[in-house]
């Protein structure tokens, strides 16, 4: 297939991007029935409860034995029970402290016999997991969970709006190999952000931003030249994002990890703060910048519905081009020319911003393709041509300040653009994001 500047297509069929990685531990509590979590009664019947929120996920894997322990901390709930996606996990036990919890598994989901509680309730799972040959869980050298395969690695909620903090530990890493992953993420993150990579890795540092964030790339020794190319302006891009959009919230050391995805896969995945990039795309400054920008949009702000995919991918495609044209104008001009070429190759009927909320399957309904990236980026470019790029920067910063660590919709972005710039971009958004007629690049009307 034709490979573009950036798009990540681990499935070898579209061009996309994404990212993830980082984890930690924050528990919130409020409201409810008792002052301490009720111990579960072994007689409690497993009860579906799709709304019981996960507030923290603590994971420990033995990557040789393919066994794991996950402590899932649920938030307070006035209703009993809980439901988690468990994919093809082989669950051995479920406990609250030493008390066994009843559970029932069907169709890749587990219902739990939990009491209602006004306090956070940690539930510990021990289980075995499987190696997957496709992009739907763990493979020997890396993990890949986007968009809804987290249940093949740990009990989870894959709804993109659902955020949890994480901790992650690995054991059983083969001798002579290095595991690259983030052991903690303190801000709520989507389930697909968890990731690790295991291989023959060395680290190349690119310095520290003014805000104190160290920038690095992890790669096999033979890929040092590709790392130098891909990271040439990465510190400057990251510093521009921190200065212009807002503080980075997923740690003080970040960067990309080279992944030997199977042939035909390219681009990256937003596993902040250790995003993954296909070996063949590692030298691309645009791919590295795109994945970096997901620390603000896509990870830093989650999408509320799969239909809001453009809020993640269109925004960061624009931000990658915008940041590079500021810090490295020649590179930035090349990136925007590449976007223009990609726009010309898009079908006008390709989905960009469908109506509804989680009424589609992002893979089966073909939203995961290039149109949300490129038409999304040109929507922001059209607004910038109308009101000024600095005004769009301010709108993106205001949106991040208001929604960082939470989920949001593209309609929220339009409201923020109007509030910050005074321009109602609804008609422009409809033209770029919903019309089956592709607009020509240029200012919004």
Longest dimension (CA), the chain: 67
Q: How confident is the model at residue 100 (pLDDT cuts 50, 70, 90)?
A: very high
Domain locations in the chain as residue ranges: 22-194, 202-300, 306-434
Q: Are 238 and 275 in contact (CB under 8 A)?
A: no
Does the pLDDT of residue 48 top 90, yes or no?
A: yes
Q: Which numeric CATH code is attached to 202-300?
A: 1.10.390.10
Whether pTM > 0.95 for this model: the answer is no
Does the pLDDT of residue 23 top 80, yes or no?
A: no
Q: How confident is the model at residue 2 (pLDDT cuts 50, 70, 90)?
A: very low
Does the pLDDT of residue 190 top 80, yes or no?
A: yes
Q: How far apart are CA 61 and CA 57, in angstroms?
A: 13
For every residue of the chain, which 3-state class applies, written as one string? CCCCCCCCCCCCCCCCCCEECCECCCCCCCCCCCCCCCCCCCCCCCECCCCCCEEEEEEEEECCCCEEEEEEEECCECCCCEEEECCCCEEEEEEECCEECCEEEECCEEEECCCCECCCEEEEEEEECCECCCCCEECCCEEECCCCCHHHCCCECCCCCCCEEEEEEEECCCCCCEEECCCEEEEEECHHHCCCEEECCEEEEEEECCCCCEEEEEECHHHHHHHHHHCCCHHHHHHHHHHHCCCCCCCCEEEEEEECCCCCCCCEEEECCEEEEEHHHCCCHHHHHHHHHCCCCCCCCEECCHHHHHHHHHHHHHHHHHHHHHHCHHHHHHHHHHHHHHHHCCCCCCCCCCCCCCCCCCCCCCCCCCHHHHHHHHHHHHHHHHHCHHHHHHHHHHHHHHHCCCEECHHHHHHHHHHHHCCCCHHHHHHHHHCCCCCCCCCCC
Pick the CATH number of 306-434 from 1.10.390.10, 1.20.1090.10, 1.10.1040.10, 3.80.30.20: 1.10.390.10
Q: How confident is the model at residue 262 (pLDDT cuts 50, 70, 90)?
A: confident
Tokens read off for 274: 């250790």
Q: How confident is the model at residue 20 (pLDDT cuts 50, 70, 90)?
A: very low
Q: How far apart are CA 245 and CA 88, in angstroms?
A: 40
Of 22 and 136, more confident: 136
Quick one: pLDDT at residue 35? 36
Q: How confident is the model at residue 422 (pLDDT cuts 50, 70, 90)?
A: very high
Q: Which numeric CATH code is attached to 22-194?
A: 2.60.40.1730
Of 95 and 6, more confident: 95
Query: Per-residue pLDDT averaged across 304-319, rounded?
Result: 98
Task: Give the CA angle between residues 34, 407, 369 to the nearest 5°.
Answer: 140
CB atoms within 10 A of CB 47: 18
CB atoms within 10 A of CB 222: 10
Q: How far apart are CA 28 and CA 35, in angstroms?
A: 14
Q: How far apart are CA 310 and CA 48, in angstroms?
A: 32
Q: How far apart are CA 127 and CA 228, in angstroms?
A: 41
Quick one: pLDDT at residue 415? 98
pLDDT tens figures, 273-285: 999 999 999 999 9
76 contact partners, CB below 8 Å, separation of at least 6: 29, 30, 31, 32, 117, 118, 119, 120
Does the pLDDT of residue 69 top 50, yes or no?
A: yes
Same fold, 22-194 and 202-300: no
| CB-count exposure of residue 132 (10 Å: 0-12, 13-18, 19+) | middle
Does the pLDDT of residue 385 top 80, yes or no?
A: yes
pLDDT tens figures, 329-357: 999 999 999 999 999 999 999 999 999 99
Query: Per-residue pLDDT averaged across 102-114, rounded?
Result: 97
Quick one: pLDDT at residue 39? 52
Quick one: pLDDT at residue 40? 53
Query: Per-residue pLDDT averaged across 410-428, rounded?
Result: 98
Quick one: pLDDT at residue 263? 82
For the chain, percent of residues with pLDDT exceeding 70: 90
């Amino acid at each position: 297939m034709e490979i573009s500047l950036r798009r990540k297509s681990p499935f070898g069929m579209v061009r996309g991007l994404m990212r993830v990685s980082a984890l930690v531990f924050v528990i919130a509590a409020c409201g409810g029935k008792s002052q301490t979590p009720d111990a579960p009664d072994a007689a409690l019947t497993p009860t579906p409860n799709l709304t019981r929120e996960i507030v923290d996920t603590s994971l420990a894997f033995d990557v040789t034995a393919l066994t794991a322990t996950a402590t899932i901390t649920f938030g307070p709930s006035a209703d009993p029970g809980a439901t988690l996606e468990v994919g093809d996990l082989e669950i051995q036990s479920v406990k609250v402290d030493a008390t066994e919890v009843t559970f029932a598994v069907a169709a890749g989901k587990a219902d739990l016999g939990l009491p209602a509680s006004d306090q956070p309730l940690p539930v510990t799972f021990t289980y075995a997991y499987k190696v997957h040959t496709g992009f739907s869980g763990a493979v020997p050298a890396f993990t890949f969970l986007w968009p809804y395969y987290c249940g093949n690695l740990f009990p989870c909620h894959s709804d993109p709006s659902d955020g949890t903090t994480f901790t992650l530990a690995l054991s059983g890493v083969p001798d002579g190999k290095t595991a690259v992953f983030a052991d903690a993420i303190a801000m709520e993150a989507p389930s697909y952000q968890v990731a690790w990579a295991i291989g023959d890795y060395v680290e190349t540092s690119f310095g520290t931003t003014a805000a104190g964030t160290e920038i690095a790339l992890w790669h096999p020794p033979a890929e040092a030249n590709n790392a130098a190319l891909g990271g040439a302006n990465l510190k400057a891009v990251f510093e521009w994002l921190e200065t212009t959009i807002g503080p980075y919230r997923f740690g003080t050391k970040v960067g990309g990890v080279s992944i030997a995805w199977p042939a035909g896969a390219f681009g990256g995945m937003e596993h902040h703060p250790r995003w993954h990039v296909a070996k063949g795309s590692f030298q691309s400054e645009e791919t590295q910048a795109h994945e970096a920008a997901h620390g603000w949009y896509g990870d830093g702000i989650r999408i509320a519905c799969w239909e809001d995919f453009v809020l993640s991918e269109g925004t960061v495609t624009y931000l990658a081009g915008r940041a590079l044209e500021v810090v490295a104008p020649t590179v930035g001009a090349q990136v925007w020319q590449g976007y223009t070429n990609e726009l010309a190759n898009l079908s006008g009927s390709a989905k960009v911003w469908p109506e509804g909320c989680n009424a589609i399957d992002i893979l089966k309904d073909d939203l995961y393709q290039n149109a949300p990236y490129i038409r999304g980026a040109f929507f922001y470019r059209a607004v910038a041509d109308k009101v000024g790029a600095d005004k769009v920067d301010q709108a993106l910063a205001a949106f991040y300040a208001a929604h960082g660590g939470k989920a949001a919709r593209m309609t929220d972005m339009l409201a923020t653009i109007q509030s910050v710039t005074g321009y109602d971009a609804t008609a422009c958004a409809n033209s770029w994001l919903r019309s089956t007629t592709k607009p020509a690049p240029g200012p919004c009307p």
